[in-house]
Amino acid sequence: MKHISIRVPWHDNKWNGTICQCPKNNPFCMMLHNISERKDENKEETYAGKDWNSLKQDQLPACVGENGGFMNEKPYKRIFKHVYAFGETPHAKLLPTTIELKPYSFFGIPFRYLSRDYQEELNHKYPNLSDDETAPFPTSWVYGKERQFEILNHFRLNIEAGTSLGVFYCKSGNPIDEDAKLIVGIGEITKVLPVQTYDTTTDYTYPFWDLIFEHGIRTDLKKSKGFLLPYHEYMSLDEDYVKAQTGKSKQEVIDEIKITIPKLGNSQIIFNELSYGCDYVSNHSMLIILNVARKCLESVIKHGLVGGNWKQQILWIDSQIAKVKDMIGPFPAFAEALSAIGVNYAFIIEQDLRNNGYCGVKDNPWEAFDKLMKGELSLPDSVYKSELTHYRILWKNTLSNQRQVLELLSRFEINSEVIKWWFDCPDCYDELLNNPYIISEESLIENYLPVTTEMIDLGVMADPKIQGKWTPKAPSLVESVIDNRRIRSFIISKLVASLCDGDTLISANEIELYIKDCLAADNHQLPYNYLMSNKEFIEEKTVYLNTDDRCALQLKEYKEIDDYLRKIFKGRASKDVKSPVKEDWNTIVKASIDDYNEANERCRNAVADQVKALEMFCSKRLSVLAGPAGTGKTTVVRAFLKSPQIKAEGTLLLAPTGKARVRLGNMSAGIQALTIAQFLTRQGFFDWATMTPYVPEDAEKRKYCGAKNVIIDECSMLTCKDFYVLMKALDLKNINRIILIGDPFQLPPIGPGRPFADLFNYLKDNKDEYLRSAITKLRYVVRTINTEDSDILTLASWFSGEKPAKNSDLIFEQVAKGNLNNDLAVYTWNDENDLKDCLKEAIEKELPEEEGKSLSDKIRKSIGLDDVNKALNDPSKVERFQVLSPVRNPVWGTFQINSYFQEWVGINKNFSIEIAPITISALDKVIQLKNERKKSTSKEECQLSNGQIGFVNYANKREKKSTVVFTGLPNKRFSYYSSKSDEADNTIDLAYAITIHKSQGSDFDTVLVVLPKSGRILSRELIYTALTRARKKLILLIQDNISWLIEYTKPQMSVLAKRNTNLFSTSVREDISNIPYVEGLIHTTLKPGLIVRSKSEVIIANMLYERGIDFEYERMIEDNGRRCIPDFTFEDASGDTILWEHLGMLDNPAYKESWEKKRDFYKSIGYIEGVNLFTTVDHENGSIDSTEIAAIVDKLEDLI
């Protein structure tokens, strides 16, 4: 007996058998190809909210075929037409067949079981199935009707009405979680209908692949045998109301009630079970799902935000847990274990033993198998009769400790691959038998078929309801939920999961809170000081790190990575090369700047910065070059590579993305740049199966020892493991210079750590002048050096990790008033209903005017596709204009925006192919989604990189084929083929709009950024990254107005700063809701909740707080029709305002000029220095005189 998973599309009215209330505002359902292919938004808008049973067949929505109405309260009819009913096929005799669906019904198509790719495995498990027939046309599915009938009947017979449960889930297309599959409901299967057949004009028919079931979930929870999670109700709540009721944000409470794969322990087994549209869910997985669901419903009750008898549903869950336990046997992986040791008919043997009464549900199948091997049991008609002799020899020669290990491993719901790995490792037997949780620990650490702690629990914790009399025995037995073997497994699970969030270590307090949450379901507490009391055992797999105020835990691998990188970075940054390069860099740099003006102080300072960088490159073994776009990083690198000595030594150019690789390679003729993945692959340090870098056992033999210099661009995108493997792949003793280039204020890497930002902050303010000299930050925008400041970079400076120029707050006023005449344009939109019109207006106004040209022509020209031949020769033209959005799925996400562009440019469906869930057409702009080596149509193998942009050169619906040309690979065409699978790992997507994350490492002439005012993914770094992608023009589409955007300039909105790291100092938050303090990234003060932008401001704020002087930090004030943001604001005894500005970079001419402008404004509105305007300054090397601050504080005490 099995349970069943059912994929459903997102529905804005809880799948109640009606058309969505706002079909145009539900792009989430379009993630399924059947819906994206058929959905007619305009028609659905006409019938919005109407019951399906009141509509004609041609009025039903596209989601009718994808269980979009599984909560239908009224019956409705659906007409089925066989997809093969064409031409001369036997199916042509089949008639359209009408089925009436009763209330609360759903369809389930077991796609995986009907896929031809799965038939070999299915035959291995069930060799009695009929052979398939050969299809007269290409197909990915089982063709023969007899085999179809057998597979469908076999599938449905394992689902039992009144016993099996249904798990309804959305894939990533949902508004609750952008990236995760989401369980939306769980309910009892109340009826399993027979396999339906088509009406026919002949004496044969074929089966419906759609199996029909009924379920017990009802909207009235008192009558319900199951429940929907109240996602819709939570999303409709007012943010302020949620905060007042719970003290938490709306997103936080939604996170507490949602059921996603990460909440289920990131189990690979459960992930697979919630795939393929409809599949089995094992009893073990169902127990895990039910236990998580129980905790989520407890949160619903605790929040008290929505009505309903949720306590009754918790009682229902408890009753289902009891029922599921009754159905589980003590050795659920018995057949998998036999398969692991080479028994071909393992699954049939188990089935025969059970069907013949030799082994009941709660019996031990190993005993029955042993008797079979000894000839004490008879199975005379078995298909494996001829092989029994071989199996008996195998079993006789299986040692007792091997049998003991097999029996133990079969207690867990794991597959034959995992079992074989442990069985083939006899050195591990003793440890495994004493602590089976190492199965989970090692699978998580090695990222190999992850097994959760909860999956091990079910096999080692005695529970007669599951195991009958075959409960586990010592030494494997776990008698307490706080057994240190179990708790350590939870700790490893937490540490590994946190790597995906960027944390390389976790505070002991946060780990304890996590463990307490895990124990809450069993009503157990974690004993006081548990982590310290069990330190010796836990340290076998982790490292304890102690700081001044807290303890943290780190995986041993990442402690080794941090220690190694710290040693390499410090050691090389503190050493000079043996043969520094001598060049007249001053002359070379001046010659590289267009319209260089010696009389312009900003020109002179820009040259000084670039010369400093070049001298640093030449002398240091490791150097860091930082700066935003447009500050001359390319100029510096190009000049460096022209040096005859550098040319003689050779330079290896590396970048994390394909686009960055192309840009880096263009900096010097004759030097081929590589992506880091390409380089590591060449050296044997990259695993393409898992798409991860690693250090091979023979690393010393594989090290790179070619060029003497290494330049790595876009370093902010590299994880600590990327850097670690990269350094290990270099023969460092033969490398003269390692040059790291990047912008530390961009988005952190996808994965653990923030090594480049940590290195930047360690070097820039280091007390050791020699280490401080290993970094140069370019401060001047070269392209605007003789003109006015860039509005783009002025706005972006507010989202960097540094204090912006003094007069830069004027940008917010200019945006609010629409007074922008430079390289920035801003438009606003209200909600989903007017975004499309606003986007269209911005494109029509901001893209270059061409008289008589249509919107389609304008878009084509903006991306260089008005002349295809030129684009073939120079595909980089397609990157001249780019739209960015934070996310993919919502109305403001890339999926919907790309559909708008396809509508505007006009696509010909005959010159299109479907790669579900999108359709790509000739001349569409597209993006590669994974790193891969791929042969062009001319058979030349090329490297394609994740994020590489191109265009569709050819597409043909009939051939189901397209060819694509990518930037950096002119005149090379790559083939892509049609795919309708919703589970396929697609390698290509539309790219008129891409996510901001995908744009990292790229820049474009003109960029349009869509910014919604809400969303979990928004952060200071995300906005900064988006703003700095434009070379010439930035167009912002901001929801409502810019006021909410100002909040994201604050340090507490930094996602970079929230990461726990241990590279140069231990930066670790106390718990998940706090921000860790790290030098250079976060500046906390004594005033509760106040975080400021600089160390100097910390001193000021702390002194004010200690003196008891009330103040506000960065409060916007308005006067004389203008807005500005002073550092500190006070109110004197009479109610008048006093201001305090701290001046940090007066040695920078641009900063000084900015302050003078702001000071003049202050003067114009009545603020006079020394009276109601006070200033302090940073001195040499950023030092600050605390006596100056104290003197001003004294004056303020007298005034306030």
Beta strands in 723-847, from DSSP E residues, in sequence order: 737-742, 775-777, 824-829
* Cβ(1071)–Cβ(1083) below 8 Å: no
**What six digits make up the tokens of 421?**
């790995």
CB 71 within 8 A of CB 16: yes
Q: Is the pLDDT of residue 786 over 80?
A: no
Would you tell me how many other CB atoms lie within 10 Å of the CB of residue 648? 8
Among residues of the chain, what percentage have pLDDT more than 90? Answer: 72
Contact 408, 476 (CB under 8 A): yes
Written as one letter, the residue type at 378 is S
788 pLDDT above the threshold of 70: no
pLDDT of residue 173: 81
**Mean pLDDT, rounded, for 781-792:** 69
Strands 1030-1039 and 824-829, sheet pairing: parallel
Residue 1113: strand pairing partners: 1128
Average pLDDT over residues 1003-1029: 92
Residue pair 791/826 in contact by the 8 Å Cβ criterion: no
Helix (H) or strand (E) run with residue 956 in it: strand 949-956
* Residue 958 predicted with pLDDT over 70: yes
- Strand 182-192 to 1030-1039 pairing: unpaired
Judged against a pLDDT cut of 70, whether residue 1079 lies above it is answered with: no
Alpha helices in 450-600 (DSSP H): 453-460, 464-467, 484-500, 508-520, 530-533, 535-538, 556-573, 585-592
* Main-chain dihedrals φ then ψ at residue 503, nearest 5 degrees: -90, 130
Q: Which residues pair with 711 in a beta bridge?
A: 653, 739
pLDDT tier at 1182, thresholds 50, 70, 90: low
Residue 496 φ then ψ, to 5° = -70, -45
pLDDT band at 1178, cuts 50/70/90? confident
Structure tokens at 409: 């491993």
520, 531 contact by CB (below 8 A): no
pLDDT digits (tens, 9 = 90+) for 43-90: 999 999 999 999 999 999 999 999 999 999 999 999 999 988 888 889
pLDDT above 60 (res 785): no
Q: What is the pLDDT of residue 851?
A: 64
Average pLDDT, the chain: 91
Nearest CA among 179, 173, 165 for reference residue 261: 179
CA nearest to 1054, candidates 1080, 1030, 1020: 1020
pLDDT higher than threshold 60 for residue 1077: no
Given a cut of 60, is residue 258 above it in pLDDT? Answer: yes
Name the nearest CA neighbour of 30 among 5, 58, 70, 66.
Answer: 66
Cβ–Cβ under 8 Å, residues 1068 and 1076? yes
Cα 866 from Cα 857, distance rounded (Å): 7
Model confidence pLDDT, tens digit, residues 324-379? 999 999 999 999 999 999 998 999 999 999 999 999 999 999 999 999 999 999 88
Q: Do the beta carbons of residue 167 and residue 5 sit within 8 Å?
A: yes
pLDDT tens digits along 907-950: 888 899 988 888 999 999 999 998 788 999 999 998 888 889 99
pLDDT of residue 657: 86
Structure tokens at 984: 């396929």
Asked if 1051 and 1084 count as a contact pair (C-beta separation under 8 A), the reply is: no
- Domains located in the chain, CATH noted: 3-327 (no CATH), 329-475 (no CATH), 480-576+1053-1069 (1.10.10), 577-784 (3.40.50.300), 791-1049 (3.40.50.300), 1085-1199 (3.40.1350)
Cα 944 to Cα 532: distance, rounded to the nearest angstrom: 49
Cα separations in angstroms, 327 against 118, 160, 226: 27, 12, 19
| pLDDT confidence of residue 1180 | 66
Q: What are phi and psi of 116, to 5 degrees?
A: -65, -30
pLDDT at 784 (0 to 100):
59
Q: Is the pTM of this model over 0.85?
A: yes
Structure confidence at residue 852 as a pLDDT band (50, 70, 90): low
The pLDDT of residue 435: 98
- pLDDT for res 1181: 63
Does residue 674 have a pLDDT over 60? yes
User: What confidence category does residue 849 fall into, taking pLDDT thresholds of 50, 70 and 90?
Assistant: confident
- Residue 236: count other Cβ atoms within 10 Å of its Cβ: 9
Alpha-carbon distance 144 to 119, whole Å? 12
Residue 653, strand partner residues:
673, 711
Q: What is the pLDDT of residue 1080?
A: 55
Does the pLDDT of residue 783 top 70, yes or no? no
CA 219 to chain centre: 33
Cβ(29)–Cβ(56) under 8 Å? no
**β 1091-1092/775-777 pair status:** unpaired
Report residue 974 as tokens. Answer: 């790559």
* Alpha carbon distances (Å) from 946 to 27, 69, 718: 25, 37, 14
